[in-house]
Structure 1
Amino acid sequence: MIRVEHVGECCTITLARPEKANALTETMLEGLASAVTRTTAKVLILTGEGKVFSAGADLDGMKQGLGLSPAWEAASGAVAAFPGLSIAALNGTLAGGAMGVALACDLRVSVPSASFFYPVMRLGYRPQPSDPGRLAALVGPSRARMILLAAQRIDAETALAWGLIDRICPPEALIDTAMSLAEAALAADPGHVAALKRMTNGDAP
Structure 2
Amino acid sequence: MIDLQQDDGLWTVTLNNPTKANALTAEMLEELVSIVRAATDARALILTGAGRVFSAGADLDAARAGLATSTLWETLSGAIAGLPCLTVAALNGTLAGGANGMVLACDLRIAVPTAKFFYPVMKLGFLPQPSDPKRMAALIGPARTKLILMAGQKVSAQEAYEFGLVDRIVEPEDLLPTARELVSDCLTADTDVAAGIAELCR
TM-score range, shorter chain: over 0.9
1:9 to partner: Cα distance: 1.1
Identical aligned pairs, as a percentage? Answer: 54
- In the alignment, what sits opposite 1:195? 196
Q: Deviations over 1:12-63 (max 9, x none)?
A: 0000110100001111111001101112210000000000000011100011
- In the alignment, what sits opposite 1:45? 46
Pairing 1:13–2:37 present: no
Pairing 1:33–2:71 present: no
Q: Give the secondary-structure state (helix, strand or coil) at the position aligned to 2:151.
A: coil
Q: Would you say the 8 A contact 2:24–2:57 is kept in 1? A: yes
Q: 5+ unaligned residues in a row in structure 1: which ranges?
A: none
- In the alignment, what sits opposite 1:59? 60
| CA–CA separation in structure 2 for the residues paired with 1:157 and 1:187 | 32
Which residue type is aligned with residue 124 of structure 1?
A: G
Q: Would you say the 8 A contact 2:88–2:109 is kept in 1? A: yes
1:191 to partner: Cα distance: 1.1
Which residue type is aligned with residue 115 of structure 1?
A: K
| CA–CA separation in structure 2 for the residues paired with 1:200 and 1:7 | 26
Moved over 3 A (4+): none
| CA–CA separation in structure 2 for the residues paired with 1:191 and 1:86 | 16
Task: Report how many aligned residue pairs link the two structures.
Answer: 201
Which residue type is aligned with residue 17 of structure 2?
A: R
- In the alignment, what sits opposite 1:183? 184
Q: Give the secondary-structure state (helix, strand or coil) at the position aligned to 1:89.
A: strand
Q: Would you say the 8 A contact 2:88–2:107 is kept in 1? A: yes
1:67 to partner: Cα distance: 1.4
Which residue type is aligned with residue 45 of structure 2?
A: L
Q: Give the secondary-structure state (helix, strand or coil) at the position aligned to 1:50.
A: coil
| CA–CA separation in structure 1 for the residues paired with 2:100 and 2:69 | 16
- In the alignment, what sits opposite 2:95? 94
Q: Give the secondary-structure state (helix, strand or coil) at the position aligned to 1:146.
A: helix
Q: 5+ unaligned residues in a row in structure 2: which ranges?
A: none
1:175 to partner: Cα distance: 0.3
Q: Would you say the 8 A contact 2:8–2:187 is kept in 1? A: no
Q: Deviations over 1:140-172 (max 9, x none)?
A: 111101111111100000000000010100101
Q: Would you say the 8 A contact 2:47–2:89 is kept in 1? A: yes
| CA–CA separation in structure 2 for the residues paired with 1:32 and 1:169 | 25
1:193 to partner: Cα distance: 1.0
| CA–CA separation in structure 1 for the residues paired with 2:116 and 2:64 | 25
RMSD of aligned Cα (Å): 0.7
Which residue type is aligned with residue 72 of structure 1?
A: W
Which residue type is aligned with residue 73 of structure 1?
A: E
| CA–CA separation in structure 2 for the residues paired with 1:108 and 1:151 | 21
Q: Give the secondary-structure state (helix, strand or coil) at the position aligned to 1:11.
A: strand
Q: Deviations over 1:103-125 (max 9, x none)?
A: 00000010000000000121111
Pairing 1:144–2:145 present: yes
1:199 to partner: Cα distance: 1.1
Q: Give the secondary-structure state (helix, strand or coil) at the position aligned to 2:127.
A: coil
- In the alignment, what sits opposite 1:80? 81
| CA–CA separation in structure 2 for the residues paired with 1:186 and 1:32 | 22
1:70 to partner: Cα distance: 1.5
Which residue type is aligned with residue 91 of structure 1?
A: N
